[in-house]
Amino acid sequence: MHDDHRTVEDRLRRVLEERVRPAVHTSALPLTVARWEAPGEPVPAADGISAPYRPAAVGETWGPAWGTTWFRVTGQVPHSWAGRTVEAVLDLGFERDMPGFQCEGLVHRADGEPVKGLHPRNSWVRVAEPAAGGEEVELYIEAASNPILNTPQTPTRQGDVRTADDTPLYRLARMDLAVFEPQVWELALDLEVAGSLMRELPLEDARRWELLRALERALDALDLADVPGSAERARERLAAVLGAPARASAHRISAVGHAHIDSAWLWPLRETVRKVARTSSNMVALMDEHPEFVFAMSQAQQFAWLKEHRPEVYAKVARKVAEGRFVPVGGMWVESDTNMVGGEAMARQLGYGKKFFLEEFGIETKEVWLPDSFGYTAALPQLVKLSGSDWFLTQKISWSSTNPFPHHTFWWEGIDGTRVFTHFPPVDTYNATLSGEELAHAARNFREKGAASRSLVPFGHGDGGGGATREMLGRAARTRDLDGSPRVTVEKPAAFFEKARAEYPDAPVWQGELYLELHRGTYTSQAATKQGNRRAESLLHEAELWAATAAVRTGYVYPYARLEELWKTVLLHQFHDILPGSSIAWVHREARRTYARVAGELTEIVEEAQRALAGRGERGVVFNGSPHTRSGVPAGGARPAAEDSAAHRGGTGGEEAVTVTERGGGGWTLENGLVRVEVDGRGLVVSVYDRRARREAVAPGCPANLLQLHPDLPNHWDAWDVDAFYRHSATDLTHADEVTLSAADGRSATVRARRSFGSSTAVQSVTLRAGSPLLLMEADVDWRESEKLLKAAFPLDVKADRSAAETQFGHVFRPTHTNTTWEAAKFEICAHRWLHVEEPGWGAALVNDSTYGHDVTRDIRADGGQTTTVRLSLLRAPRYPDPETDQGRHRMRYGLAPGATLRDAVREGHWINLPERTVPGDGSPVAPLVVLDGEQGEQIVAETVKLADDGSGDVVVRLYESLGGRARALLTPGFPVTSVTETDLLERPLAEPRAQHTVEEARVRVALRPFQILTLRLGRSGER
């Protein structure tokens, strides 16, 4: 037989697109259209429906960027359509192949009830089934004219309502009543499924030719002049091949309806509220038509938005949740970033998220659902388990640009040794349509073949694209048991995970972080957003600590509701396109304003609580919010401020005063008995001599605190990516406009250097303080560059084969060499408050108050020594999606701690983020609520001290082992304790406590394994 497969396949494509699909709706009649432009921001549905409409017509333009236009469509079903299925086809001017990134609509009835969303692949509304004839049609469409910003990825002013123009973006394409032809719709799916399956099979496979000949017979049976009249006959020609059962070894797919909706990205937060309402309305409507459909939605915040802004939609969702078909997943407040989110915030993401689902629906979510975040912290497995969850799902690792990840189903082991069963869907998308191409790719790509047989596919258009469609369900029904295809079953994620774990209990283990070899620029972009997050996390720590202390000691009213609202605001802004800096200008402008408000409110709480604790008087009381004793002030306690005497100015507690001498050739030498620092005439640090270890920290001939400027134009994804070739060119900013000495009063000395470069300026300060080995630095930068990357370099004279970078509740080690592609790919890494490098006997730490991006490189010098260079990534200037990214003034603080151990790094990292506060009071000390004693007491960090969320008055203390070793300590509460309970992140007793913690003479004995997180609930006498 001659090979004619291309001819048949080309024929199929054309007939399907040009004849069959257009015939799904026939006998179209135009609806009468009217419109009303909502002024400014969106209005409630009742206002939109009752607004004064004016006549409109198909073909009219509408919608300036970020506007809302309400359309009213009216008509009458002809009596001749009686017995037929009638639908309204409402095309707002969609780009069919771009769901989620353009205009969208929500259809309402005249009484305000939402019906369903309108999207490029879902532009119909059922009117009557079957029609009686004569039905009056009156529908209202809230149409959002969101600009298309995802392509091309070029600078645009449309990303902020303040700078967007008012040119209409869309043109009404179709507003019709039409007869829905079910047999044509079924035929379209038959042809599509058979055709897509055929194209994925090898040309040598007999099944491919069987499908080809059946498709040819179906096309022969189809009358192109009467598709509805011949559709059933054509379908009969395909029945046998579509009824052939799957092979016994066929891959098994659990298909889960899904609509990944970014809580902000190329649209502002307020638009996400509407995207969620539109998609949820769609999914509820689809469930009404398809009882087999199961839809999973993550992010408690999005459910909360529905409840607040669209309670009528939320009520429908809640009913479907009760039926077990609308399935909350994820257990997180939002699908957050996990690289930069602080430890306590990561715990609250899971705690608040799971608690919402429990309180609203009585559902204990068991999976952490995080498909689209830019890498996953090695601390997460323990947090997943402590939240009461069992499984983890991700997808984004498939985007790694260097090394393919070796597993799809595996046990993920965190820094403490906790393992969580994890799945990484081989379909390589979280917006699947269940096409033949996707299903075949999932089966071929699955790396566990021979040991396991099943994977999960999230299907549905995301980001406001409307979620799953009836066409996707039609594909699922046809591939449930079909020869040549994986077996597809629509079911809940929990059903998949239970089966997958039972089938593959001895899955391989991946230890450590899931590093995404892409999007490394997200550690740096939008510095103000990142600084706002870090400051908010620190203030939340202080607010809870001091409010709890004041509540226990003085009867201060603990602000439960206020703190929860502030926490949830911060958690929202940790979403994986806000904190990483990859959203439009509007999002980050609002984020900066929100962080300022949050900081102000939290500062009020801190100050109120501290005033209650300090008492009345004018003597200064110093509060230490750090979990480590500082300058004689205990962790979480307060002491009277030292008198401002001449002796004190020369150093405290026997500390040597800071002395300053001029250097030959320019600059100054600063000394305090612990370190000697030389700053040259250019304002660069050329020596940091550790007098305790009698060795130099700075590599010979290499200045430290050196600002370096790189070109920064990645190949793709401007705000997201930093590509390795940026290192090929660098400008060292060594010239200084002015170098001055200030604040040389014995307590501290500061050298400042002002530099100009490009269109920008930077004022760098270097400060040495009495009694501290930390060399504290500040960069005050007025940043006006474009497509540049600014780093601060510290070339250290230390042979370090690895670096230690703080992550949530511990740290991760990463090699400094590039022996393999896995190490080479980590050319930009994330660290929280500190990064540490060492050789046996000596190390150094770089600490910071708001920077996350770092890189660590190693070089061998001519003298045989090794230079390990640690650099902080301070600022970027990508132009997409926000053309003004990072423009303006920034103040960043960081410090070099020579001779630092890991313990020192942990302590100094907390100190730079939690500065002392001095308030007037009666001068009485404030004892901490809890004290950790013993040789290993400082190794265990009290990350959080707060009152229990349930209002019982119990004190909750969250501890973690910080150095990666075992530790024991005695925890001494500063109040009467009636019980000690180990809890999960929701403050519930653990079903199987990992250790027995007993009260012994008013103290609690604790023992922690490496990096273990321990949450203790301390019952208080008379508080229940």
* Residues acting as catalytic residues: 372
What are the backbone dihedrals phi and psi of residue 459, each rounded to the nearest 5 degrees, phi first? -120, 140
Rounded distance between C-alpha atoms, residue 159 and residue 146, angstroms? 10
| One-character DSSP codes across 9-57 | HHHHHHHIIIIIGGGGEEEEEEPEEEEEEEPSS---HHHHHTS--EEE-
Q: How many CA atoms lie within 13 A of 884 on its CB side?
A: 14
| Strand pairing report for 85-91 and 124-128 | antiparallel
Distant-in-sequence, close-in-space partners of 683: CB < 8 Å, separation ≥ 6: 667, 736, 739, 751, 752, 753, 755, 764, 766
Distant-in-sequence, close-in-space partners of 493: CB < 8 Å, separation ≥ 6: 254, 256, 296, 327, 329, 367, 369, 391, 393, 456
Q: 453 is written with which tokens? A: 């047989």
What are the backbone dihedrals phi and psi of residue 971, each rounded to the nearest 5 degrees, phi first? -100, 120
Residue 17 Cα to chain centre, angstroms: 39
| Strand pairing report for 409-413 and 509-511 | parallel
Q: 409 is written with which tokens? A: 């189903």
Q: How many CA atoms lie within 13 A of 879 on its CB side?
A: 14
Query: Reduced to 3 states, what is the DSSP secondary structure of residue 1014?
Result: strand
Residues in the chain: 1024
Is residue 494 within a helix (H) or strand (E), and if so which, with residue range?
helix 493-503
Rounded distance between C-alpha atoms, residue 416 and residue 954, angstroms? 28
Side chain identity at residue 279, one-letter code: T
CB atoms within 10 A of CB 119: 26
Rounded distance between C-alpha atoms, residue 784 and residue 801, angstroms? 37
* β-bridge partners, 258: 296
Q: How many CA atoms lie within 13 A of 115 on its CB side?
A: 20
Query: Reduced to 3 states, what is the DSSP secondary structure of residue 186?
Result: helix
Rounded distance between C-alpha atoms, residue 621 and residue 610, angstroms? 9
| One-character DSSP codes across 435-478 | -HHHHHHHHHH-TTBTTB-EEEEEESB-TTS-B--HHHHHHHHH
